[in-house]
Each structure stands twice: as C-alpha cells, then as structure tokens.
Amino acid sequence: MTGPTGVRCTLMRGGTSKGAYFLAEDLPADPAARDDLLLRIMGSPDPRQIDGLGGAHPLTSKVAVVSASADPDADVDYLFLQVAVDRAEVSDRQNCGNILAGVGPFAVERGLVAPGATETSVRVRMLNTNERAVATFPTPGGRVDATGDAEISGVPGTAAPVVIEFPAGDAPLLPTGRIRDTVAGAEVTCVDNGMPTVLMPAAALKVTGYEQPKDLEEDLALADRLREIRLAAGELMGLGDVGDATVPKLTLLAPPRSGGAVATRTFIPVRCHTSIGVLGAASVAAGLRLPGGVGEGIAELPRHGDRVRIEHPTGFLDIDAVIDPDAGAALRTAVVRTARTIFDGTVFPRPPAHPSGGNDGSAPR
C-alpha cells in the first residue's frame, strides 16, 4: 500500500487535553504547508475527524511543536496550534497550559534536554506570546516516569506530578487598565495572567453557572450574547477583531458548591469547556484576587495561603496565585498538572485534496 510519507509523532495527554507533539524539524518550515499537513494529520475538517488523530472536540484536536531554543534563558521553544475540528483552520493565537504539561517530558524523551538523576526542570519559551514557564517533573534514574500519585480532575487515575510555574510576564494583568468594564451592557473584569479572559457573573447572563456544558451550548440566546460580549471585549483588550479567534476566553462565575473558591463555566469560544484550561484558570485566580472585580460577592477566597481552587464541570483545578493589586501585576503563578505519552511512532496524514475537489474531508451526501 502506498500513500503520503509518514511523520514522527508523539500523542500525549497533557492535563485535561490531548494532542500531537512534533519536533519542529519534522514539520514543514512554511506555516501554510505545515498547517495543511496538520489538518490532514488530525482529520480536519470533519465533525468526527474520522480520518485522523483528532478526537472530534477542541480539547483533543491540539498540536505542540517543540524545538531547542536559541534563547539563553530557555531550554526549548513551544508553539501551540489549535486545529479546528469542522473547519480547515489552524490557529496560533493562544497558548495552552494543559498541552504545556507534556512539553518537558517530550523534550527529555526526544533528547532536547538532558534529564536529571531524580527530577528535571525544563525552561519553556511559549512562542505564541513569548511568555515563559518552568516545568518540573520526576526523572528517577534519568528517565521520564509518568507513574505517580498526583490526581487531577477530569483525568482517570493518577500520574507523576508536573509542576508548572509561570514567572511574572511583561503584559499587564488588566489589559483595559481597569478592574471593571461594561462590555456590551455586561459588567466584566478583563484579565490576562497568561490567557486573555473575560470574567462575568453567571447570573448576569440569566444562567446559574452550574449547568452542564451541553445544556449551555444548546442555549442559542446565550451563544448570541456571548459572541456579542466577546467581540466587544476583544477590541477593548487590544486584541482587535476576534471573530475568527479563540481568545479571549469567557468565564462565567458562580458561588462555589464543592469547597472551592468559585464555580466556573468557560467558553472556547462558544463551546463550553468540560473543565478549564490551565492558563485560563490562572487568569481567573488572579482576577478573583483583585479588589473590586466582578468576583467580589461571588467567590469565597481562602483566608490563608496562595492556593485558589477553581471548580469546573468535572471537578477542580488548584492554582497558586499571588498578585500585587496596587501595581495590577501577577507576582507568582503555579499549577500542578500531569501528562502521559499515549503512543510514539509514525503518523500517516490523509492524502492532499484532489484538484477536482474530492477527498476534502466533507461528509457524504
């Protein structure tokens, strides 16, 4: 059987997402050629992604492109690419903190970083935003070992912890310069602690904030309202026209129900996240600590310590968040995630579309 040339690929679960990890040298240098290849590898555009690696959901249609970094303050460069499921679109306009959890172990396994005898720290430059992170994980005997007792909501079983710390960046925590804004008639707090995020009370949108993601997605009036707010917030946050982007994220806030600080429902952009992204949660945690933000009167912040527990539809995510409210800056952000290699080998992409228009991934008619 003949077909397209295979590409070396590692499929990993990173946090509560799943994606294909590649060395940059194994993909075309030209972004257009790279994106065409990735669409064919993931099986897009097709709602089922039946002819590729994708799992028919944005959380399982992700790509990490990793390379040794020329920056003396980083070990590796990480480019995150979101591959649309039902559209021929690949976006680099955001980071992904969950897929980030697999970058350090991947870099060690592929020989980009030498492992330590007991644990390894990998300094990562996130090319999407030029922000930094340090991922630390166990390497007993100088080998990546994914077994451990760390448990994260939304993932069965336990695994080795990957502690990700985000140094304070240069971007303002408050992109609009204000703790509260009125956007398309809604009171919001716009915050960026690694992920541009718009916080708003769920009750203001006539929902409880405890609904199942599927039920929220089926609320067409809510979807229209969220689009209106997101487009206006994008302009206000300096992101320009975000009609075709997945940022900013929109997070609805409600009082906690399970011992956390707040209950959340997050939209990417109108699909409701079944959990919450790492960087989105980091922005939520920082936003909750801002006096006068929309979280006041909703969130129940801990009296002691830096840890903020963010409840989401399938459990919770703990974020260590320290901010300077006077300066409007994040001082420290850290999170515990887990990651695991599912397979490592060769992936064979779907053949390129025929000039006559066939083989384009569309559903049969």
In the chain, the domains with their CATH numbers are 7-161+339-347 (3.10.310.10), 181-335 (3.10.310.10)
Structure tokens at 71: 């920056």
Q: What is the per-residue DSSP string for 17-82?
A: EEEEEEEGGGS-SSHHHHHHHHHHHHT-S-TT-TTSS--SSGGGSEEEEEEE-SSTT-SEEEEEEE
Per-10-residue mean pLDDT of the chain, 365 residues long, equals 81 96 98 98 98 96 98 98 97 94 98 98 96 96 96 93 87 94 97 95 97 96 97 97 92 97 94 92 96 97 91 93 90 94 98 66 44
What stretches of 213-291 adopt beta strand conformation (E)?
249-254, 262-267
Going by C-alpha positions, the residue among 208, 306, 293, 296 that lies closest to residue 257 is 208
Q: What is the pTM of this model?
A: 0.77
For residues 191 and 175, what is the distance between their CA atoms, to the nearest angstrom? 6
* Contact present, 178 and 238 (Cβ < 8 Å): no
Amino acid identity at 70 = A
What pLDDT was estimated at residue 355? Answer: 60
What pLDDT was estimated at residue 356? Answer: 54
Number of neighbouring beta carbons within 10 Å of residue 231? 17
Place of tokens 């997050």: 266
For residues 252 and 199, what is the distance between their CA atoms, to the nearest angstrom? 6
For residues 155 and 18, what is the distance between their CA atoms, to the nearest angstrom? 11
Amino acid identity at 252 = L
What pLDDT was estimated at residue 364? Answer: 42
Amino acid identity at 305 = G
What pLDDT was estimated at residue 68? Answer: 98
Please state the length of the chain.
Answer: 365
Q: 261-283: buried (b, 16+ CB within 10 Å) or exposed (e) per residue?
A: bbbbbbbbbebbbbbbbbbbbbb
For residues 256 and 229, what is the distance between their CA atoms, to the nearest angstrom? 24
What pLDDT was estimated at residue 362? Answer: 47
What pLDDT was estimated at residue 3? Answer: 61
What pLDDT was estimated at residue 363? Answer: 44
What stretches of 60-145 adopt beta strand conformation (E)?
62-68, 76-83, 90-91, 119-126, 131-138
